[in-house]
Chain A
């Protein structure tokens, strides 16, 4: 037996897993029918009891988020699902939606009912046309089946569900920027408070949840809170998708209870690519401080990763072996943050620009040892000084890589250039260049 626990991914190997028929074959939409017969508050309580926490990175308890929506306020409420998956390394929500968009729709029906929303949106990133097709078709099929629209499931409840497609802006994965984008503006974060639960979409009470969080809800309704909370660790309950990529023998998706370790996942995946060793990795995307081989046994749950000095994030395990130049890796991430900074806050807008200049110099052998202190000082002036977490995220790869690989930065200075051969880290290494 392995430690794996496929729930969300349980039927992805069936050719028609993305269709209504494929979904119904395994009890699809039964959980929504069941939930609609419960009191909305009881649905919220059940999700609270399950211990489900946000799978988009922050790990906020999902049921508690729903509970923050004021009831009886005579205002429209909204559910918005964040399918803007763009954090470097993160690749779980897109395959989920490609293989099974209906589980998200069913979760959205349940969540909308619980928070008394009559309108729900799914904000899908714009660079994934086939995912957009699958979601669009699933919505149309759910309307035809009477699961969306007026009087859904004959319950007297109405729900409109709209897909909204982004247009290439990482920042729109930040929930308040996403709301601005959905309202038809440039996607820039808002000052909080007020939080979206009080003033979200169109200044109305709004829940914003990640795809995987909402897609987990039907299984919780179907199997109960105890079933879900029996998986995982003390404060990190349930199963989740771990995405393994990079210099490994077999990259892919691994659904397992929270708390599995990278060592265990690597064993299942056949380890690092032959003849090489693990050098550094991200536990949850580029915004989470990097780890090294010393962290192979860190439990990959919210608390375990935090205690080791990083964040669980999106569980995007990007693996780099000893052929990889850490300065080059960090430079490329820094260029990403500079490009994606929305420009609203000065520390992030200007800071990411200067970070790139300095790391570029280091990588090209024009840096000095004093540049390392300058980098850390800049990071200190960005961290915690912007509206949203993009600026914070930009500092994570830099501060953590200097912590673990200061010698390698110094080697770029003394060597007056990068000591690595970039071709050696490609998948085509060993073959003729250009082959």
Chain B
């Protein structure tokens, strides 16, 4: 897509955060992903121009990191944790269940463009296993059925909200902008902590009273 004047101003403001401008390459990649949905040739060229780099240098960085996508993903990108702990607790069954349910493989996108699927590594929520992420928001304590319901809700255009995240699920592009460091004003939404995060604290308080 064509980048607007405002987009270019935003990119300059991202560059201005850093003492040296090359450091802005990662947030700029997140930003172009928020506009294009994935890392496009146009986005690479624009970043290279802004940072006085060769396009090959920008491509080299973008291809190193798995969150920068080389082809379009769904409006809702679903990641199922299949690292050891989540896999064993049910992540493997969830992942294969979703593949069957959606009729797509790993890295696939549904024909309607709504949902894409990826198996992901540990997402730092092991006490909420099995974990599913959507557009990098937490869906904790999933089952095969709850994960199927989740993707169904996405395809129906009314995605269920994350368990620890904003009140409704933003789109892939919207969240890519947040990862570029652009505040969407939704930080106060959702819980401050999930129940497992509070377990030790609660036991401690109970012990102090008793």
Residues on A lying within 8 angstroms of B by beta carbon are 1-2, 4-6, 9-10, 12-19, 76, 85-91, 93-95, 98-99, 119, 125-130, 132-134, 136-137, 140, 162-170, 181-187, 202, 242-247, 250-256, 268-269, 286, 316, 318, 320, 324, 328-329, 332-333, 336, 339-340, 342, 422-423, 425-428, 433-435
Contacts and interface: CB of A to CB of B under 8 A. Distances in A.
B125 A427 contact: no
Interface of B: 17-20, 22-27, 29-30, 51, 60-61, 64-68, 79, 82-85, 87-90, 92-93, 97, 120-130, 133, 135-138, 143-145, 162, 164-166, 170, 175, 178-181, 183-184, 186-188, 190, 192-204, 207-208
Contacts of A202: 19-20
A329 B86 CA distance: 10
A426 B90 contact: yes
Given A127-B120, A268-B200, 12 more contacts: A12-B201, A88-B122, A133-B178, A133-B187, A136-B181, A167-B30, A167-B179, A169-B64, A184-B61, A246-B88, A252-B198, A253-B127
Contact of A167 (B26, B170, B201): B26
Residue in A88, A318, A422 whose Cβ sees the most chain B Cβ within 10 Å: A88
Contact of B123 (A15, A16, A127): A127
A271 B85 CA distance: 17
Contacts of A434: 93, 97, 144-145
Most buried by B among A98, A167, A433: A167
List the 4 shortest-distance A-B pairs measured between CB atoms, nearest first.
A252-B199, A167-B65, A252-B196, A184-B22
B127 A243 contact: yes
Given A9-B197, A98-B192, A169-B65, A336 B121 contact: yes
B43 to A, nearest CB: 14
Q: Which interface residue of B29, B88, B128, B144 has the most chain A CB atoms within 10 A?
A: B88
A396 B183 CA distance: 40
Contact of B136 (A4, A128, A253): A128
A86 B128 CA distance: 15
Nearest to B88: A425
B193 A95 contact: yes
A168 B66 contact: yes
B165 A130 contact: yes
Highest count of chain B CB atoms <10 Å: which of A133, A162, A336: A133
B26 A332 contact: no
21 contacts: A4-B201, A15-B192, A86-B122, A89-B126, A91-B128, A128-B136, A132-B179, A133-B186, A137-B188, A164-B27, A165-B26, A167-B65, A181-B26, A202-B19, A246-B89, A247-B89, A251-B196, A252-B127, A252-B195, A268-B203, A336-B121
Nearest to A188: B64
A9 B187 CA distance: 19
Contact of A91 (B61, B92, B124, B199): B124
Contacts of A339: 121
A95 B193 CA distance: 7
Contacts of A185: 22, 61
Given A253-B197, A423-B93, A425-B88, A340 B127 contact: no
Contact of B204 (A2, A93, A166): A2
A89 B181 CA distance: 27
Contact of B88 (A125, A140, A328): A328
Contacts of A423: 93
B40 to A, nearest CB: 16
A400 to B, nearest CB: 14
A428 B143 contact: yes
Contacts of A252: 127, 195-200
B187 A136 contact: yes
Nearest to B51: A184
A268 B203 CA distance: 7
A156 B122 CA distance: 43
B136 to A, nearest CB: 4
Contact of B145 (A94, A127, A250, A435): A435
B8 to A, nearest CB: 19
Contacts of A2: 203-204, 207
B78 to A, nearest CB: 13
A211 to B, nearest CB: 11
A186 B88 contact: no
Contacts of B29: 167
A131 B208 CA distance: 31
Nearest to A84: B124
A184 B26 contact: yes
B143 A90 contact: no
B200 A6 contact: yes
Nearest to A248: B127
Given A88-B85, A133-B186, A252-B197, A426 B93 contact: yes
Contacts of B178: 129, 132-133, 136
